[in-house]
Amino acid sequence: MPESLPATVCSPFVGWLFFLFLAIPLAEIALFIVVGERIGVWTTVGLVALTAFVGAYLVSSQGRGVIRRITTVFRSGAFPGAELAHGAMVLFGGALLLTPGFLTDALGLALMVPAVREALRRWGARRYRNRIEIIDL
């Protein structure tokens, strides 16, 4: 029988995921109602559609820039760790921008800003520097 993960490893992640999958849609629905009442339903729908198109354009342009930087770093013989992190954040930001909602659009747009991505990358590197164990196969 396969060994399962200890409860202490799974519990915090499951709790956070449950919270996020419940809280974010509820917040988005509340924002849709408030914005729809203020500017009208069709304007709200149009705004959500517009952010999806703008998001797709931003992901495309930012993604091309990240790919160029990854290629340049690879050609220099170095490992493009920072560039790969930026690429992952652009991809995640794109997914948020394509998800209907104002909250997810704001987070997705923030991830399209290179300075925001770099700040998040540095924070993550400091936070998890000594917690990652590389296994040599």
pLDDT at 1: 47
**pLDDT at residue 2 is higher than 70:** no
**Cβ neighbours for 96, distance < 8 A, ≥ 6 positions apart:** 55, 104, 105, 107, 108, 111
When pLDDT is averaged across residues 78-99 and rounded to a whole number, the result is 90
Write the DSSP assignment of 105-123 as a string of letters: HHHHHHHTSHHHHHHHHHH
Whole-number pLDDT of residue 32: 92
pTM score of the predicted model: 0.76
